[in-house]
Chains A and B, each alone.
Chain A
Amino acid sequence: MTPEAPAKKQITVPVMADLAARNESPEILFWVGCAGAFDDRYKRVTRAFVRILDHVGTNYAVLGLEESCTGDPAKRAGNEFLFQMQAMQNITTLNGYGIKKIVTACPHCFNTIKNEYPALGGDYEVIHHSTYLQQLINEGKVGVTGGESFKGRRITFHDSCYLGRANNIYEAPREVLAALDADLVEMKRSRANGLCCGAGGAQMWKEPEPGKKDINIERTEEALATLAGKADALANLGGVETETAAPGTHDLQGSIIAVGCPFCMTMMSDGVKNKEQEANVQVFDLAELVASAEGINA
């Protein structure tokens, strides 16, 4: 089946306040997050994820204008007061609507709501969109066919700290990628040994401290060397003493760095630009890859 100028359908995103007015409740609330709502690049991820939710007929809703920052950057920066103000405000909103289950495409929102809201009175089942996408694929609701083919393209997954080490989710994003039938390659520093993109802990909003290199450059170099299969380049990176890189060199053309976090998206994209590889290597979120493969990413 080749997608020949497919027809488009408009999606009206269901808003929680409207559902509540009709006395309805969604099965799951999609927590968009500030990056997903405001950052131009990550808005495309939000839209791709909504296309998937709509495509599989999920009974979902978003808070729309009622959503506010979870407080994650404030908490990591040490501003516990501001964090708790934000958290209490969001918990009041969520509890007011009787929300039970939340899905989000941001590992920072995911970690904060899942782990830090319960102490303040917000108890929800929170899942990251990588886990949700994995479930949809396992249930056969998303076939990952009919759209763009990723067969033979080299993809490496960059672990987000707040999904990986913070919450021990390493396999779900990899299983999602495995469904694409692409060539998955692992960076030397992956899973629990993954190297941060450099944006966590509120670094996203400040200049880095003086040093000899930016963290996202170090990480991008590793990703590019892995995609290109350059063992010598990998050996020069200050990685952990684990496996050696797969030998054999590859053309970077058409390679993909896959991410599952808005901050990683920004940092890795900037890194690829810095290395002047944006014509060859693209950075995509899992939801974008799935929506494209499914042929619904208009």
Chain B
Amino acid sequence: MPTILRPQTFPPYLYRMLQSILFLLLLVAAFGLFAWQVRKIRANILVGRDRDMSGHSAERFRKTLLVAFGQQKMFKRMTPALLHLVVYVGFLVINIEVIEIVIDGLFGNIFGFHRSLKFLGPVYDVLMATNEILAALVIVAVAAFWWRRNSNPPLKRFTGPELRMWPKLDANIILYIEVALMLALFFMNTADLKLHQMRGEDLPGTFPVSNLLVGLLPSSEGTLHVLERLGWWIHITGILLFLNYLPSSKHFHIIMAFPNVWYSRLVPQGQFSNVESITNEVKAMMDPSFVVPPAPTAPDGSALAPTPFGAKDVDDLPWTNLLNAYSCTECGRCTSVCPANLTGKLLSPRKIIMDTRDRMEEKYNSPLIFRPNVYGAEAKHEPITDLANATLLRGKVTPEELWACTTCNACVESCPVNINPLESIIEMRRFLVLEESAAPNSLNVMFSNIENNGAPWAFSPSDRFNWADDLFAAEKPAKAAVA
């Protein structure tokens, strides 16, 4: 082995410089790759139909603060809310340390400093101590999460045909990565602490957990130095890898939850969207003087292909519904309160959201890891051989699921990040009814009753006022004002 490669003779400044350059390259590569993935996802979301969600900034800001930052809707269920809060706050606070790691990695090596935020003094002590305590709590919370998912039987909402294979693995991978990152953090701090103790120096910061762990590490300065470096590199590399794992994972919700809540609907949940093109047709039918506004044209003035009523595929859905799909962390609160699902029907609102994401990635841009759900007989799916039918509707979501919905809004109410599965369900019902005339027969009877009798039942319209016949009230002496 040539002498030059042996660390003992490798000039220290070169070694430090090499670390800095390596770190810079890693950082640029990681953020570059992440930006590239985000661009693809952005493009996926923008295949959706236009929908004006501008304005109402004050209300949107308040909602984002409460629901996304404040996790307001999580607190409907205390146990998972508290566990999640630990991981969430841990994530936010530990990210401050990541800033330090980045500064250290870029410049600390070259200029020979370490723990660049130590100038904060007592604040640094508090920061490091909080970090360590939160990191320990995160490990506990993650263990609890793992148990809730993997015990036998797991929590009911972590089951279902849409939560096998990749989604199940993905959920566990996230938990394993989180534990690994926390362990690397402790590894790094403990080695650093012990190194300083052996040299008789004071390590800036307070490390309540690492203090307990110093005994576990060997007492050789050289080894400790390597271990500290190893912990540092594993921690930051792990974070950058995790960042790039997000777009392939349900864990992307940590970013997408914020825009999703920002762009959530501000109208009452019972208000379903109006279909403008139908309004024009109906107005033209009822009022011959009504002038139908010209259909939108392509930028070059040519006519656009007519858009179908409702949604057959992802590009027929409003873009906000596609944003929904990327904000979903597959927690299953929606499905666990769905009256149809509770009583054994095929419908699972979570599945519809997950199918939407799978379909977008199948048809347009897919992330680094893309393993869409494949359903079998249990979800009453027949293998799709004909690609033209591989659309969201029928290719992934069956009419049986859609017709089981009572439009009760329980799923919408339950979602901690304001996803609205009901809108997608109604859009697909619209396609079934208006484009394919494929409503269940009994509903077609109801439609024709409304058309012919002005009531959903087969009653004669002339009997509509019969309820008022022979209407008597018990006579009551005129009431003196009741206090």
By a beta-carbon cutoff of 8 Å, the part of chain A in contact with chain B is 3, 6-13, 15, 32, 34, 36-39, 43, 46-47, 50-51, 54-55, 62, 64-65, 67-69, 71, 73-82, 84-86, 88-89, 92, 111, 114-116, 119-120, 140-143, 145-147, 161-162, 165-168, 192-196, 198-215, 217-219, 238, 240-242, 294-298
CB of B399 to closest CB in A, whole Å: 10
Question: Assuming A161-B408, A213-B343, what are 20 further A-B pairs, CB within 8 angstroms?
Answer: A11-B468, A11-B473, A55-B476, A62-B465, A78-B434, A78-B439, A85-B451, A88-B283, A88-B286, A111-B270, A193-B337, A198-B406, A200-B407, A205-B446, A206-B443, A210-B345, A211-B343, A211-B345, A215-B342, A296-B473
Whether the pair B434, A69 counts as a contact (CB closer than 8 A) is no
A13 to B470, CA, bound (A): 10
Whether the pair B340, A7 counts as a contact (CB closer than 8 A) is no
Binary interface profile of B, 176-205, with partner A (CB < 8 Å = 1, else 0)?
Answer: 000000000000000000000000000000
What are 6 contact pairs spanning A and B, CB under 8 A? A50-B468, A68-B461, A78-B310, A84-B275, A209-B345, A242-B77
A37 to B456, CA, bound (A): 12
B338, closest chain A residue (CB): A196
B428, closest chain A residue (CB): A78
Kindly identify which residue among B344, B406, B462, B482 contacts A199, using a CB–CB cutoff of 8 Å. Answer: B406
A3 to B473, CA, bound (A): 13
Q: List A contacts of B269 (CB < 8 A).
A: 165-167
Q: List B contacts of A86 (CB < 8 A).
A: 450, 454
Kindly identify which residue among B156, B281, B340, B456 contacts A69, using a CB–CB cutoff of 8 Å. Answer: B456
Q: List A contacts of B431 (CB < 8 A).
A: 78
Tell me if B445 counts as interface (CB < 8 A to partner A): yes
Kindly identify which residue among A67, A92, A119 contacts B274, using a CB–CB cutoff of 8 Å. Answer: A119
Q: List A contacts of B483 (CB < 8 A).
A: 140
By a beta-carbon cutoff of 8 Å, the part of chain B in contact with chain A is 76-79, 156, 267-272, 274-275, 278-279, 281-283, 285-286, 309-310, 336-337, 339-340, 342-347, 400, 403-410, 412-413, 426, 428-434, 439-440, 442-443, 445-447, 450-451, 454-457, 459, 461-468, 470-476, 479, 481-483
Q: List A contacts of B463 (CB < 8 A).
A: 38
Whether the pair A75, B272 counts as a contact (CB closer than 8 A) is yes
Whether the pair B456, A205 counts as a contact (CB closer than 8 A) is yes
Contact flag A79-B447 (CB < 8 Å), given A38-B463, A67-B464: yes
A298 to B474, CA, bound (A): 5
Q: List A contacts of B443 (CB < 8 A).
A: 77, 202, 205-206
A84 to B274, CA, bound (A): 9
Whether the pair A36, B467 counts as a contact (CB closer than 8 A) is yes
Contact flag A201-B337 (CB < 8 Å), given A38-B455, A206-B442: no
Contact flag A9-B339 (CB < 8 Å), given A37-B464, A69-B456: no
CB of B336 to closest CB in A, whole Å: 8
Contact flag A205-B408 (CB < 8 Å), given A37-B465, A210-B345: no
Q: List B contacts of A203 (CB < 8 A).
A: 406
Kindly identify which residue among A6, A10, A54, A209 contacts B347, using a CB–CB cutoff of 8 Å. Answer: A209
The 3 A-B residue pairs whose C-beta atoms are closest, nearest first, are: A166-B270, A78-B429, A212-B344
A67 to B481, CA, bound (A): 35
Whether the pair B471, A10 counts as a contact (CB closer than 8 A) is yes
Q: List B contacts of A39 (CB < 8 A).
A: 457
Q: List A contacts of B433 (CB < 8 A).
A: 77-79
A116 to B342, CA, bound (A): 29
Contact flag A73-B446 (CB < 8 Å), given A3-B474, A34-B455, A205-B456: yes
Whether the pair B476, A208 counts as a contact (CB closer than 8 A) is no
Whether the pair B268, A297 counts as a contact (CB closer than 8 A) is no
Whether the pair B278, A8 counts as a contact (CB closer than 8 A) is no
Q: List B contacts of A294 (CB < 8 A).
A: 476
In this complex, which of B268, B408, B446 has the most chain A Cβ atoms within 10 angstroms of its Cβ?
A: B408
